[in-house]
Amino acid sequence: MKRLALGAVLILATALSGPADAEKSFTHKEVRARIELMQSNRDALETLHQMMAGQRRFSASEASAARRSLLRNLRKIPRAFRKERMEPLSNARPGIWLNRDDFDARAKAAAKAAAAVKSQNLPALRRTLPDLFHACLSCHDAYRNRPREFTTH
């Protein structure tokens, strides 16, 4: 189980990593807001992942703050993707707007999984966090392009 959870975390960290040039200007303010929302989710998930993996000392207050951030942010996802706005820095696929009901259902599933995360102690966090990772990855697999990596060869 630990190996599965760690694998899911590594995949999610890669999937959530934003574009290296995210500080550049955007044509649409909605795209900037979406990217900032997802980066905030990434930061909260990274905090929880580091605690779960023993890379950071567990703190119930920090874990609860990260959980609250996720709960707040995940409820905003359907509205943040209301308008179809595409830009080079956005990794959103057009399928979001073509399959709106499925996208919204996946966002709700992620919010429900975040609500189920137990942040009071480390064993509970380790037991409940993988479901949130799976919910996030499910949506990203369907509706997010992998960011292009800069290569020199």
Q: How confident is the model at residue 133 (pLDDT cuts 50, 70, 90)?
A: very high
Q: What is the DSSP string of 81-118?
A: TSS----TT--B-THHHHSHHHHHHHHHHHHHHHHH--
Looking at residue 149, its pLDDT comes to: 67
The mean pLDDT value of the chain amounts to 86
Percent of the chain, pLDDT > 90? 69
Tens-digit pLDDT profile for residues 2-58: 555 555 554 555 455 544 444 557 678 899 999 999 999 999 999 999 999 999 999
Fold classification of 26-84+93-143 is Four Helix Bundle (Hemerythrin (Met), subunit A) (1.20.120)
Q: Which residues contact 22 (CB under 8 A, 6 or more apart)?
A: 35, 39, 89
